[in-house]
Chains A and B, each alone.
Chain A
Amino acid sequence: MRYSRMSRVGLALVAVGLVSALVATSGYSSSSGGSTAPGVTATSITFGTHQPLTGPAAPGYSEIAPASQAYFDYVNAHGGVFGRKIHLIIKNDEYDPTLTVSVVHQLVLQDNVFGIFEGLGTPTHTKVVGFLNASKIPDMFVASGCPCWDNGTTQPYTFGWQPNYTIEGKILGQYIKQHFAGDKIGVLYQDDDFGNGGLAGIEDEVPASSIVSKQPYQSGTTSLATQITALKSSGAKILVEFTVPIYTAIARLTSYTLGWSPQLVVSNVGIDPITLAGLLKVVSKGKVSGDALIDGAITDGYLPSFSDTSNPWIKMFLKVKAKYDPSAPFDGNVEYGMANAYTLVQALEAAGKDLTRQGLVEAVDKYGDSWRGPGLVPFRYTKTEHGGYGGVQLAKVVGSSIDPFGPVLTTPPSAGSPITSYTGGQPAPPVNGIPSD
């Protein structure tokens, strides 16, 4: 009896060993020969991405990667880049950093992707930047405005894309200082580099004494009652938020039930009106219509407003969406995914026919600051600067659209540096909607 118990444990060990050996041998037939780098063949390039398809950040953001995929499908249908079709493997990390580490290792080590594209989130992506740079994997155009991507010296393979949160915070802060002078300001922010980056920008512009309450929240929490109560009782008239959409919605509903309606000033990542209207309806169980609650909120944008259907870029994206991503709504998230994909195609064109990982990174370092596209301002890409768009235009939520106003503004993220107008204008999209080098 005793002996048999031992042999049972032994047998199980042997069985597990056999199974994992089988799994391993079956999974390793896919690597291709004759290519210049893993993930590249004569006819294809494979990128991977980690996205919150479920979980707290999913509402709205889960549309981004499929929209990028739709734009790649469009490019592929027109012959791809140098004859290579672009594939995107989308993995769900649920906005959970532990899962991010796991799926990014899977993408790099098992799926042999050429690079990571548009990995979403600050708390998530910060956990894989070290791994990606140590393994020399291109980490293109992170879907987060954390100032932490902007370091070409220590992280040569990582590139930000959207304006960093400090730039956003500075420009929003300047507007508050100019138009709501003397009003008490409360700040609600996510307690990580996303919220802290935005807060740093605001604090750089508005007088310290006017910020009467700063309330952090942890991503994953289900209630903001403590924070909103504290903000309300501080007497703040302006509520600045560096929040992802679900927390913008929860914060708004909480303040609504408390009978508090401050002037909202929200980072552009947290205020897509179509996403918010849907969320407010769900969170309030249908009691309120979302549009009315966020009407008049101040935010900013660095792409043409998705509701501006006369803009040629929006027309082009709408055409792509209708054919390749028909079930999605056309909102700021879908526009984001397509515009970011457009930038990747620009980078691949610039890197040339003989594609290598090093070559792609060098192409962005060298030519990135001259690329124009759907963005309102140029990119801050040089060998040392990996920051993405360098500025934003202020905007206001009106109904279910975002209406930009005032000049397009740019500024370096460093504290105390001036905010200036950008007058370079926006070029028209290429006729077939695909960038050419």
Chain B
Amino acid sequence: MSPLVAAVAGARQPLERSTLLRSLGLVLLGAIILYLVSGALGDYDRLQLATGAYYFAALAGLTVLIGWSGQISLGHGALMAVGAYTVALLIGDNDWSVLPALVAAVVVSCAVAAPLGAAASRLRGPYLAGATLAVAVGLPALADRFPSAFGGSNGLTINPPTPPSWLGANFSLEHWEAWIACAGALVVLFVLYNLTHSGVGRSLRAVRDDEIAASLCGLRIGRLQTLTFVISGGCAGLAGALLALALQLAQPDAFPLELSLSLLTGVVLGGLGSLTGAIWGAAVLVLLPSWTNDIASSLSLSQNVGDNLPFAIYGVVLIAAMLVWPSGIQGGFMALRRLMSTQRRKAG
């Protein structure tokens, strides 16, 4: 055994044992990649990267809630709105700086998610979906109901976060926004990776698979599910806060029911319950609409067809993806890998 291999093997052992070390390694790897990527991209693609990062934060929270705790939520778009309005009110009206405003957004959205989670832990299946649906429809409407506080349908605008001066005069606003959003996404990755690879994660899986057996083992089901809902809501709140920073805007039209549904789409399409799947889901939510628009506009169709074609293509792609990869993109990759390893074993 060469010394290099031995060294690598030696390094693998503590990595395999400690979840914390592994998650830190992942975050570091992600940070390096995102640093390099954001440096190579143009300003518009940096904004797309920021969009992908906040979608990831929301999707990762939701995928843990649905895939690990077995609870469905159609209300995460509304929790994003809570985060976005918190940031807009704190930065826009009260001149808070970015970091405390983001922390406050997470705290506020967790606080809003707590009673929802407590109610949600008592509901199952379609009833839970219905209750969270009501939140998705009702909560953003508060902005219209109280226009003096929330700006009505005009929304609240905030000044863009200025990049710190040590980054140089040529460091663009979009670059800085991408960094903030990516940092937020990495924090979410760190928290959720540790959550799912801990005792809580195992308990959650036990509850999801058989509630009666789990409670016989002494697990407190309601408390576990509420906890997951709150953490997941905090992730959605952070995502909304990052959205508000990237767009410098919190506005009710940004949080329609469709947002909650497309989050669910992203989770299922990426691969339910998988943080890797959340990355795929975020990539799909960002790239697919711009691809469908490009396809539609390159066909030079009549206006009525061309304007509506992107939505039709989007629908067709979703249907096709669900037929080809019923367990999501990540599930598809896993199946492919299993297939390849059995082939190799046969050949060997």
Contacts and interface: CB of A to CB of B under 8 A. Distances in A.
A20 B49 contact: yes
A219 B153 contact: yes
Interface residues of A, number: 48
Contacts of A123: 153-155, 251
A17 B40 CA distance: 10
Contacts of A193: 154
Contacts of A109: 42-44, 47, 174
Nearest to B17: A2
Interface in A209-237: 218-220
B275 interface: yes
Contacts of B147: 191
A12 B276 contact: yes
A20 B52 CA distance: 11
B68 interface: no
Interface in B231-290: 247-249, 251-254, 275-276, 279-280, 283
Main secondary structure of the interface of A (DSSP, over half): helix
Interface in A1-20: 2-3, 6, 8-14, 16-17, 19-20
B254 A98 contact: yes
Interface in B40-72: 40-45, 47-49, 51-52
Interface in B191-218: 193, 197
A27 B283 contact: no
B340 interface: no
A291 to B, nearest CB: 22
Interface string B1-18: 000000000001001100
A192 interface: yes
B275 A92 contact: no
A11 B334 CA distance: 13
Nearest to B34: A17
Contacts of A10: 26, 29
Nearest to B38: A20
B45 A24 contact: yes
Nearest to A328: B303
A23 interface: yes
A62 B249 contact: no
A130 interface: yes
B40 A62 contact: no
Interface string A105-133: 11001100000000000010011001100
Nearest to B56: A16
B26 A6 contact: yes
Contacts of B40: 21, 24-25
A97 interface: yes
Report, nearest first, the 3 A-B pairs whose CB atoms are least far apart.
Answer: A110-B44, A109-B44, A98-B254
Interface of A: 2-3, 6, 8-14, 16-17, 19-21, 23-25, 27-28, 53-54, 58, 62, 66, 92, 96-98, 101-102, 105-106, 109-110, 123, 126-127, 130-131, 191-193, 218-220, 327-328
12 contacts: A2-B16, A9-B189, A13-B33, A20-B45, A21-B40, A24-B41, A96-B254, A97-B251, A97-B253, A101-B247, A123-B154, A191-B147
